[in-house]
Amino acid sequence: MFCRKYWFRNLVCALLVGLPTNAFGDDRPNILVIVADDLGYADLGFQGCKDIPTPHLDGLAKSGVRCTNGYVTHPFCSPTRAALLTGRYQQRFGHENNPAWLPEDRVAGLPHSETPLPSVLRTKGYATGCVGKWHLGAHPSFHPNRRGFEHYYGALGGGHVYQDGLKGSNEYTIPMDRNGVGEPLEGYITTVFGHEASEYIKRSQPKPWLLYLAFNAPHTPLQSTPELQQRVSHIENKERRDLAAMIVGMDDAVGEVLSTLDSTGQRDNTLVFFFSDNGGPISVTKANNSPLRNGKGSVYEGGIRVPFVVSWPRKLPKGTTFDKPVVSLDVFATSVALAGAANQPTEKIEGVNLIPYLSGQTNESPHETLFWRTGGGATSAVRQGNWKLIGKRGEAAELYELGKDINEQNNLANSDRDKVKQLEKAYEEWNTKNVAPLFESPKQPRKKK
């Protein structure tokens, strides 16, 4: 009787102060993964941007750790997402390209040989939700509800028009999908995603939850609202202004989600990741990747190095920076460790639990070496310490010392052949565990001259 009495009292007290809990006294963190689409490296305030106001994302950065050497595993959309949700380099299982929008294709999508993060977390009692862009296969067998997510709302393809009635390809004008049922898009898609994510957060407590919030902003088409345009009217270049309006819309949506975490008492014990799926496409959207070289599609820094924030007020320091390399693979490893899923069959995970590093428990680097490969080896890259090797099929290797040359302008390959050989050997060893791409990216239509 005594134990039951005090168990109930403690439960009530926890609810009154807004601490996430449940009948088992569960204080494991909620996990919120926010991914932007084609965001420029320097297009947010906390990254030094001066012309686009992003107060909510800036506040998120101040609430946690800004990773100044944050990477994704690929320089364009779908492969990055495949690695993020599996914790493995996507080349290990052939997901090296974007799947075409072919609902009849049973191959072009996240292979069923892989166990996605939500499937693992569900075994540990987590609620699992996904809101936003999917882009991991059009066939029904690839649907988020069949890959571990109990709840899904969003656009299943590689992108979408931002409001119903606007022009776009078939893939970009399909109905929104809510747990396998189509419905019309009502409102501005970025705002809708923010609202849907907030509603999911409200109804999922007190059970610990995973929410994967994947915006399609600021990916093309460059579409916004008059109100968003007005807030960036000071920007003269039209394409840059359109991009800025979309980023402001995304910042607003993130603000709604963070406000919901605050109002429901869940912010302190929610681990939030934020990053872009790749670098910004400079010539297409006027994204700013400064001071990095190139952009989306490239294995130079501008294609793979992204704004990267990790916030967990209960455990991580606020307003700090972490300068050693981290990668989107680490989301999976960190999440399963905190959820208590270490006994799951996750021996193939290639990320690491970032918490000991970001909290200062260890001064070591999370990763000795990171790797990239596109087109089955058409381009490649290796980063080891501050050294980076670029490979292009049929061309001589390029070597850069990123600590001194962040924009990759001084090629040292001819003056340091030993370092080139060392990194080439590391890449070759890593590449022996990869497979050929299972499917090819859809061909883009040629622009009319």
Tens of pLDDT, residues 92-111: 999 999 999 999 999 999 99
Please list the residues that pair with 153 across neighbouring strands: 131, 178
The DSSP secondary-structure symbol of 137 reads: B
Domain spans of the chain, in order of start: 29-367, 371-431
User: What are the b/e assignments for 30-57, b being 16+ CB within 10 Å?
Assistant: bbbbbbbbbbbbbbbbbbebeebbbebb
The DSSP secondary-structure symbol of 305 reads: B
Is CATH 3.40.50.720 the classification given to domain 29-367? Answer: no
Is CATH 3.30.70.20 the classification given to domain 371-431? Answer: no
CB atoms closer than 10 angstroms to residue 13: 11
From the candidates 135, 143, 151, 160, which is the catalytic residue? 135
Residue tagged 């428990």 (tokens): 361
Asked whether the beta carbons of 218 and 246 are under 8 A apart, the reply is: yes
- What pLDDT is attached to residue 6? 32
Tens of pLDDT, residues 401-437: 999 999 999 999 999 999 999 999 999 999 999 999 9
From the candidates 49, 67, 77, 130, which is the catalytic residue? 77
* Widest Cα–Cα separation across the chain: 82
- What pLDDT is attached to residue 205? 84
Residue 121: φ, ψ to 5° = -70, -30
Alpha-carbon distances of 11 from 23, 30, 270, 358, 432, rounded to whole Å: 8, 18, 19, 31, 52
Spatial separation of the C-alpha atoms in residues 138 and 222, rounded to whole Å: 24
Give start and end residues of each alpha helix (H) in 22-134. 55-62, 77-86, 117-122
Active site residue 367: no
Alpha-carbon distances of 81 from 34, 136, 162, 294, rounded to whole Å: 12, 8, 21, 21
The model's pTM is 0.93
For the chain, give me the number of helices (H) and strands (E)? 12, 16
- What pLDDT is attached to residue 345? 53
Closest CA to 52 of 62, 39, 35: 39
Closest CA to 48 of 35, 33, 36, 61: 61
Asked whether the beta carbons of 41 and 292 are under 8 A apart, the reply is: yes
DSSP three-state, residue 429: helix
Spatial separation of the C-alpha atoms in residues 142 and 202, rounded to whole Å: 27
Active site residue 135: yes
Within the chain, which residues score under 70 in pLDDT? 1-25, 342-347, 444-449
